[in-house]
Amino acid sequence: MSELLSGLLSGLQLGSLQLSGLHSAWTAVLNMSLTATYVAAVVILVRFFLKKAPKIFSYVLWSVVLFRLLCPFSLPSDFSLLGVVTANLRTQAGVLEYVPESRSMMPQPTIPSGDAGFEQGGEQQAAAALPPSSAMTRGETLAVGMEILSVIWLAGMVILISYSVLAYLKTKRLLQAATLIKDNIYESDRLSTAFVFGFIRPKIYVPLGVRGADLDYILDHEQTHIRRRDYLLKPLAFSAIILHWFNPVMWLSFVLMSRDMEMSCDESVLKRVGGEGKSEYAKSLLALSVKRSGLFTLSPLAFGESDVKSRVRNILNYKKPGFWVVILLAVAVGGMAFTLLVNPADKEPDLSFLNPDNLASLLVQRDGAQINEAGYPYPIIVSGVELGKWLDRAANDWKEKKFSSSYELTPSITIQVNGDNEIHFFEAEPTLAMIQSGEQYRYYAIPEEDFRVIQKLTPLAYPKIQSVTMSEWKKGEEVTSVTSTDSTILEMAVHLAQEEENPSFLWRYTSVNDVPATANFMRIVLEGPSVAYTYFLYTEDGKNYTIEKPYERINKINPDTGQAIIDLFRKAQVKLP
């Protein structure tokens, strides 16, 4: 029984590895197909403008589509036309990545765990770092969907390959009775049109009884195919179609490419026979025209195939282009081919706002800055000016930190500098901060004291502070008191309190028992559902001081702040009903 279970487990592991490989292959093909679709759309558009130009130029452009269908890599260039439609696309090792290869389908920047270099961090942190179950479910659903599509894609390829091999073998058996005329030219009474067949030593097969000018035109046409290696290019193109069978744009491209191949071959013959042979050549084409069937699915390049009506029209209207026209077209088409062959160059991202000094400059220009705290449903508004001043000083001690491995860690406090720039702090890792600017981010090792400052700042913020009570005391007795819940008053009071919380004051410590030694002072009480802060403001020896409860310390404040608090008190009194 144990051997049976072991065998089953081994089989499951092998099957999982095979599915993983199939998923990766399918993702790579899907990304190539999307790139080729963009390129094919451009080629179809350009082909329309080249309607009167020699068809060899349109035919050359299809080689770019073939390259994109078969090769996932390309060189980067600032001249890539794909940059217009893939401006925000990720490029990984020269590959345009529309669909990420990650089976989770949810690539996100992550914050390193304790295993990545922190002293703390264990199972509880790892569990807290896991994404929500609903997000995991969405990722797993996408991954399962991609795996199902990869199996369907593989089944479609198997069917098309099987059909093509059978068609090739059927054609080969049909040609076994053909009679050699000369060189590599054969004829058979079982054929209704001429074509080239074979990969190593291609042969020309013609219907029995074709003689004279018709035979000359046929041989000239088919020998042109052989000289240009079309007998290899067309099967290669069809192999790409098998790989991308799910993309209807590629089937259309294959039809148009075959048409341009035949028309360019016709024009090559007309260059040699001259304008007087156009009518005879068109008659030969009509006489040997063949209705397409599954017989020629894989490789035969039938002389009478591919939209005979359009080919006859093109033959009769053909005029040999001038030398300079050909040169200009060659340069234009060559340039277009280059812009479609190369990938967009990776633009260097603007990393200036991953620098805390630059964010500090942004903050000081804002009256209010928003802080989001985990577990608190509302944004907290703090003084942007004072927060910017604090960050400007604190940034001197912030050091960039790099990590080799990581897992996701949820920020406990986020400072929203503006729409694209944020600073994240983590209670689980108080010596780490992350600055994020759009999709770019950078980690910093910070003093734990800086995290505590931000942590202490968040409770002292509107809307956590829901009321302010200011009272005036003279000779040790309260003479005036005012309580306000007005949002404007609250925000001003909070900003003034924050202003004195964080700057580097001239501290003096003394046992004050939380009450000024003077008889005249102001008391300010900031209160919320779960917080309460009390401050005393007084003047001694012509200088302003505040006492912050419950700490036994005195903060020296500047005269402007003291006057602003008094003005705020007067404003709150005016706003009383």
Question: Where are the strands (E) in 62-213, listed by range?
Answer: 76-77, 90-92, 95-97, 179-182, 185-188, 195-197, 203-207
d(CA 306, CA 294): 13
Q: 350-365 in b/e burial notation, b at 16+ Cβ within 10 A?
A: eeebbbbebbbebbbe
One domain for residues 184 and 97:
yes
One domain for residues 442 and 534:
no
Query: What element of type H or E holds 413?
Result: strand 413-416
pLDDT at residue 109, as a whole number: 44
d(CA 287, CA 49): 31
d(CA 217, CA 303): 10
Cβ 498 vs Cβ 457: under 8 Å: yes
How many separate domains does the chain show? 3
In a domain, residue 462? The reply is no
CA 549 from centre of chain: 52
In a domain, residue 333? The reply is yes
DSSP string, 483-530: EE--HHHHHHHHHHHHHHHSS---EEE---TTS-SSS-EEEEEEE-SS
Helices of type H across 175-228: 212-227
Of the three residues 400, 434, 457, the one that is the final residue of a domain is 457
Q: Identify the CATH number of the domain in which residue 366 sits.
A: 3.30.1490.410
Cβ atoms within 10 A of the Cβ of 161, count?
15
One domain for residues 337 and 370:
no
One domain for residues 544 and 504:
yes
In a domain, residue 269? The reply is yes
Q: Identify the CATH number of the domain in which residue 478 sits.
A: 2.60.40.4250
Of the three residues 284, 316, 341, the one that is the final residue of a domain is 341
One domain for residues 337 and 369:
no
Sequence-ordered list of residues with C-beta below 8 angstroms from that of 328, at least 6 positions apart, any chain = none
Mean pLDDT by 10 residues, the chain (577 residues): 44 50 86 92 92 90 94 84 67 65 45 40 36 47 81 93 88 88 89 85 87 84 90 90 95 92 89 80 77 44 64 84 89 92 74 82 82 81 82 90 68 85 89 85 89 78 75 85 75 62 39 68 79 78 72 67 76 64
One domain for residues 221 and 200:
yes
One domain for residues 291 and 238:
yes
Place of tokens 């049976």: 4
Distances from the Cα of 293 to the Cαs of 118, 247, 300, in angstroms?
A: 68, 21, 11
pLDDT at residue 160, as a whole number: 92
Domain range for 317: 14-116+129-341
Q: 22-52 in b/e burial notation, b at 16+ Cβ within 10 A?
A: bbeebbebbbbbbbbbbbbebbbebbeebee
pLDDT at residue 126, as a whole number: 33
pLDDT at residue 455, as a whole number: 82
One domain for residues 331 and 382:
no
What does the block give as tokens for 182? Answer: 């000369």
One domain for residues 286 and 402:
no
Of the three residues 457, 476, 501, the one that is the final residue of a domain is 457
Q: How many CA within 13 A on the CB side of residue 157? A: 16
Cα distance between the two ends of the chain? 86
pLDDT at residue 217, as a whole number: 86
